[in-house]
Amino acid sequence: MRADSYQQISSGLSVLVFGAAIVSSSVLISGDQLGRVNLLYLLILFVAWPVVSLLLMVILSVIKTEKSLVNALLAIPIWPRTWLDTVSQLKRTGLFKQWLFCQSQKMALVFNAGCLLAFVFVLLFNDVTFVWRSTLLNASQVLPVLETIALPWLFIDSAQPLLSMLEMAQDSRLSLNPHLVAASAWWQYIFMAQVVYALMPRLCLYLVSRKQLLNALAASEIAAKNSRDFAAHSSTVSQRPNLKKISRTSAVSGNYVLLNWAGLPERLISQVEQVYGTNERVYSLNEMTDLASELTVINDDRVKLLIVAAWEPPMGELEDFMRQTQGIVLPLDWSSDQFQSISALHLDEWRRFCFALPNWELQLPKELS
Q: Which of 199, 201, 40, 8 is nearest to 111 (CA)?
A: 199
Integer Cα distance of 114 and 25 in angstroms: 8
Integer Cα distance of 38 and 172 in angstroms: 11
Same domain, 125 and 255: no
Q: Which sign, positive or negative, has the C-alpha torsion 41, 46, 47, 53?
A: positive
Same domain, 180 and 304: no
**Position 294 in a domain:** yes
Same domain, 149 and 196: yes
Same domain, 197 and 250: no
**Position 235 in a domain:** no
pLDDT score at 237: 40
**Under 8 Å CB-to-CB from 29, ≥6 apart: which residues?**
37, 42, 118, 119, 122, 128
Same domain, 303 and 158: no
- 296 or 28: whose pLDDT is higher? 296
Looking only at the bridges linking them, the beta strands covering 327-335 and 338-340 are antiparallel
Same domain, 92 and 131: yes
pLDDT score at 350: 92
Looking only at the bridges linking them, the beta strands covering 246-247 and 256-260 are unpaired
Band the pLDDT of 331: cuts 50, 70, 90. Answer: very high
Residue 259 has pLDDT above 90, yes or no: yes
Mean of pLDDT values over 344-360: 90
Contacts of 50-58 with CB under 8 Å at 24 or more apart are: 50/108, 50/112, 50/197, 50/198, 50/201, 50/202, 51/197, 53/108, 54/201, 57/104
Dihedrals φ, ψ of 112, to 5°? -65, -35
* pLDDT per residue as tens digits for the range 77-132: 666 666 667 777 777 777 777 877 888 888 889 999 999 999 888 888 877 778 88
Band the pLDDT of 236: cuts 50, 70, 90. Answer: very low
Same domain, 80 and 198: yes
Give the total number of structural domains in the chain. Answer: 2
Give the whole-number percent of the chain exceeding pLDDT 90: 20
pLDDT score at 1: 45
* pLDDT per residue as tens digits for the range 167-187: 877 765 544 555 554 445 688
Give the whole-number percent of the chain exceeding pLDDT 70: 84
Among the listed ranges 13-27, 136-150, 222-236, which one has the minimum average pLDDT value? 222-236
Contact 31, 37 (CB under 8 A): yes
Helices (H) and strands (E) in the chain, counts: 14, 9
**Position 337 in a domain:** yes
Band the pLDDT of 305: cuts 50, 70, 90. Answer: very high
Same domain, 187 and 314: no
pTM > 0.75: yes or no: no
Integer Cα distance of 285 and 282 in angstroms: 10
Residue 207 has pLDDT above 90, yes or no: yes
DSSP string, 280-296: S-EEE--TT--HHHHHH
Same domain, 279 and 139: no
Measure the CA dihedral 218/222/227/232, to 10°: 130
The domain in which residue 342 lies consists of: 246-368
The CATH number of residue 284's host domain is 3.40.50
User: Residue 21 belongs to what H/E stretch?
Assistant: helix 7-30
Same domain, 303 and 191: no
